[in-house]
Amino acid sequence: MTDRFWDRTNCMHGKGRFWLCTINLLASWNSLLYNKNRKYADAERWKSAMPKLRKTLGDIQSETCRSLMRLIETQSKTTLARWAIGYARERYLPICQETCPGLWEIVSQCQDAVEQKQPVSHCKSHIRLAADMARCCTGAAEQAAARAVAVACATMQTPSNALGFLFYGAAAVAYASGGLDRSGEEYEEMAAAELEHAYRSLSACSVPEEKRPVRIVWNC
């Protein structure tokens, strides 16, 4: 009688411990899920609070951009290509060089073609490759810089790119120097400063009364 009582008691105690462990395990699991969901929700709120990064920066209606347009219209395609590729090499290529190392060789090939006055067809494959590399580039600053370089190289065949590449470049400089958590107003200020820098650079190397200036219809 006594042995049976103790056997039943031990069995009940064993089952009790089992259910107690199960309850504790479920409670721990629920707590883990709650904390995980809370962290995810906090991360999503933080992500949504961050400004959405744009591929390009800069106000095309600004006086600086208008001044750039007027200056570009006074230069030849060769002068614009030489300046755009050189400017992109100096300002934007260092930002994306580690991520897209192949761009350096493409820029060099395009620069040589401009200096040697080779036809655009000589560099069309390089220009397409640069655009492909830019699309595959990762990182906000790095991709913007790679796009700026690719568009600058294409100035050889599309003179209006002498302005277009600067909007990618402005974004690259803003994200590289200011980080990825600034306000939209701060980014626009940095972009405006970069466009001013570009205008001074083009002014310094422009050719007075250059023959055969480009003809561009600005769709803006």
- Give per-residue pLDDT as tens, 168-180: 999 999 999 999 9
State residue 49's pLDDT score: 45
Mean pLDDT of 27-38: 54
- Residue 48 confidence (pLDDT) above 90: no
- Residue 220 confidence (pLDDT) above 80: no
CB atoms within 10 A of CB 147: 27
Mean pLDDT of 40-51: 48
Locate 179 and state its tokens: 């980080």
User: pLDDT band at 15, cuts 50/70/90?
Assistant: low
- Residue 41 confidence (pLDDT) above 80: no
Locate 171 and state its tokens: 């974004």
The whole-angstrom separation of Cα 161 and Cα 151 is: 6
Mean pLDDT of 12-38: 55
pLDDT, greater one: 137 or 1: 137
User: What tens digit of pLDDT does each residue of 203-214 get?
Assistant: 999 999 999 999
- DSSP labels for 64-129? HHHHHHHHHTTS-HHHHHHHHHHHHHHHTHHHHTTT-THHHHHHHHHHHHHHTT--GGGGHHHHHH
The whole-angstrom separation of Cα 129 and Cα 154 is: 11
User: What tens digit of pLDDT does each residue of 90-145 get?
Assistant: 999 999 999 999 999 999 999 999 999 898 888 999 999 999 999 999 999 999 99
Percent of the chain with pLDDT over 70: 77
The whole-angstrom separation of Cα 218 and Cα 184 is: 26
State residue 47's pLDDT score: 45
State residue 124's pLDDT score: 92
Which conformational region is residue 212 in: left (phi greater than 0), alpha (psi within -120 to 50 degrees), or beta?
Answer: left
The whole-angstrom separation of Cα 78 and Cα 66 is: 21
Locate 32 and state its tokens: 């883990």
pLDDT, greater one: 216 or 48: 216
CB atoms within 10 A of CB 90: 10
User: pLDDT band at 33, cuts 50/70/90?
Assistant: low
pLDDT, greater one: 45 or 209: 209
State residue 35's pLDDT score: 55
